[in-house]
């Protein structure tokens, strides 16, 4: 939206305000009363956790609550905790910053088993850790992971929501991920900032179904930005399936260890839409199999904006002939590298691969990047027949300042394919505004009396 206040310009306000508003404690008929408990640096674990008699440690708080309860953590610095309780479908548990406050969890607590700052883990034979919301916390200082969610091969954790947190400087610069899950179903990772972590920003591993990763800012991590990594060696089917990656801004990742902005290994039926990826130093989106139970398939890459770094790799990489039925539509795929370009595939005739209605470059590869072909040669294989070449200067308001709103005369306007899976844009405005979909993450719209702020910003 050219004249719309950008979501990520508002990110600090979202974290400090909307995302830190507590879940209302309500009393349903014939249900126990939910309670808000308090943790403060001047508290005592011998207290009762009330507002004027708070507990001191997060560990004591999470060990003491019941389904439906909420913990408000007040300003100050705390060690992390290990969460081994579970809520219910009707009564979730919540650990969150007190409204308007900025508590910091710095490093693991004495009960933590993986050197992660915040651990939610199911052990074989134990209660499945599920139905938790973690919200509005600053999480740092781990040599393991920042936020670490784990089920088991036979007992997946499920229904875990990680929302509005700042997760940073965990394991820098060689190990550790900001937000991690393994053997978790129905995980939601939304509205977080994950940066300066020693591996990936967000890492979903092992096996898991129905993940959602949306509206996060993921940047300056040593390896990949967002990684879905099925792992057959850990047990289970080694597949991450039926997921959504949308409206994230992902930049400046992979400078130390490599790893694409979005890595999909052993993934199936994942929709990747309305994301902005820029200045990442490895790949844009990589669709492949190394550890996963399958070569990633049924991946829909729709209405994203890619601006690859000068030292980056290909914007889209389908790295395996077994990676079948993948679709690439309505994306801007620009690469600043001197040789690499828009799309590389392992072979010219991968089953079910489709690509069209993209803004592209005159650079493609059909042999894993060993050699390069032109757009006309690529189109001769049946790909991108409606796609066209354009530069950032022609497309965007100010790409150098990370403003990826489309210009009023951008060639991407009204040139996209109507996609039922994409009904809005990066900022939540409906598609289409004009007679047809725009290409990329932004749908150009004129909104009077609005403000001009970047669609994406580093700050």
pLDDT of residue 379: 98
Q: Is the pLDDT of residue 450 over 70?
A: no
pLDDT of residue 20: 30
Greater model confidence, 406 or 20: 406
> Looking at domain 33-342, does it have CATH number 2.160.20.10?
yes
Interval 181-204: pLDDT, tens = 999 999 999 999 999 999 999 999
Interval 58-84: pLDDT, tens = 999 999 999 999 999 999 999 999 999
13: Cβ–Cβ under 8 A, 6 or more apart, which residues? none
- For the question of whether the overall pTM of this predicted structure is more than 0.75, the answer is yes
Q: Is the pLDDT of residue 457 over 80?
A: no
Q: Identify the three-state secondary structure at position 390.
A: coil
pLDDT of residue 193: 99
Paired tokens of 346:
């392992």
Q: Is the pLDDT of residue 167 over 70?
A: yes
Q: How confident is the model at residue 176 (pLDDT cuts 50, 70, 90)?
A: confident
pLDDT of residue 174: 72
Greater model confidence, 174 or 27: 174
CB 306 within 8 A of CB 340: no
Q: Is the pLDDT of residue 30 over 80?
A: no
DSSP run (H or E) holding 204: strand 202-206
What is the Cα–Cα distance from 23 to 20, expressed in whole angstroms?
A: 9
pLDDT of residue 175: 78
Q: Which of 42, 40, 75, 34 is nearest to 58 (CA)?
A: 40
What is the Cα–Cα distance from 444 to 181, expressed in whole angstroms?
A: 36
User: How many whole angstroms from its chain centre is CA 280?
Assistant: 15
Greater model confidence, 66 or 21: 66
Interval 89-128: pLDDT, tens = 999 999 999 999 999 999 998 888 889 999 998 876 567 8
Residue 436 exposed, middle or buried by CB count within 10 Å (0-12, 13-18, 19+): middle
Average pLDDT (321-331) is: 98
DSSP state of 179: E
Name the residue ranges covered by the structural domains of the chain: 33-342
Q: Is the pLDDT of residue 205 over 80?
A: yes
Q: Which of 312, 253, 321, 310 is nearest to 287 (CA)?
A: 321
């Amino acid at each position: 939206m050219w004249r719309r206040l950008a979501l990520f310009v508002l990110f600090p306000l979202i974290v400090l305000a909307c995302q830190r508003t507590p879940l209302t404690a309500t009393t349903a008929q014939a249900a126990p009363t939910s309670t808000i408990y308090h943790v403060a640096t001047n508290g005592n674990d011998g207290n009762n956790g009330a507002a004027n008699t708070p507990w001191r440690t997060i560990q004591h708080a999470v060990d003491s609550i019941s389904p439906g309860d909420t913990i408000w953590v007040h300003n100050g610095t705390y060690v992390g905790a290990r969460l081994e309780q579970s809520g219910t479908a009707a009564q979730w548990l919540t650990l969150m910053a007190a409204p308007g406050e900025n508590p910091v969890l710095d490093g693991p607590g004495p009960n933590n088993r993986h050197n992660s700052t915040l651990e939610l883990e199911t052990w074989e034979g134990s209660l499945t850790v599920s139905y938790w919301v973690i919200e509005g916390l600053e999480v740092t200082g781990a040599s393991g992971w920042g936020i670490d969610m784990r089920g088991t091969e036979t007992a997946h954790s499920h229904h875990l929501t990680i929302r509005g947190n700042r997760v940073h400087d965990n394991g820098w610069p060689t190990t550790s991920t900001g937000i991690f899950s393994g053997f978790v179903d129905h995980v939601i990772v939304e509205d977080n900032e994950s940066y300066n972590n020693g591996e990936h920003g967000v890492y979903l591993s092992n096996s898991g179904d129905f993940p959602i990763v949306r509206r996060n800012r993921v940047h300056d991590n040593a390896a990949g930005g967002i990684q879905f990594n099925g792992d057959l060696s850990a047990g289970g089917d080694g597949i991450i399936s039926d997921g959504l990656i949308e409206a994230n801004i992902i930049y400046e990742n992979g400078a130390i260890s490599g790893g694409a902005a979005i890595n999909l290994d052993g993934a199936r039926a994942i929709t990747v839409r309305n994301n902005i990826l820029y200045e990442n130093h490895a790949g844009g989106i990589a669709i492949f199999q190394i550890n996963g139970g399958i070569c990633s398939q049924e991946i829909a890459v729709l209405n994203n904006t890619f601006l690859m770094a000068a030292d980056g790799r290909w914007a889209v990489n389908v790295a395996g002939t077994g990676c079948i039925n993948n679709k690439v539509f309505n994306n801007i795929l620009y690469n600043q590298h001197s040789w690499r370009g828009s799309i590389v595939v392992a072979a010219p005739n991968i089953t079910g691969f489709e690509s069209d209605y993209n803004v592209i470059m005159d650079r493609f590869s059909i042999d894993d990047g060993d050699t390069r072909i032109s757009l006309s040669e690529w189109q001769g294989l049946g790909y991108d027949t409606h796609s066209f070449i354009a530069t950032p200067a022609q497309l965007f308001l100010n790409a150098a300042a990370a403003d990826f709103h489309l210009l009023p005369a951008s060639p991407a306007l009204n040139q996209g394919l109507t996609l039922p899976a994409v009904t809005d844009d990066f900022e939540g405005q409906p598609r289409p505004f004009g007679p047809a979909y725009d290409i990329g993450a932004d749908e150009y719209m004129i909104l009077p009396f609005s403000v001009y702020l970047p669609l994406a910003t580093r700050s």
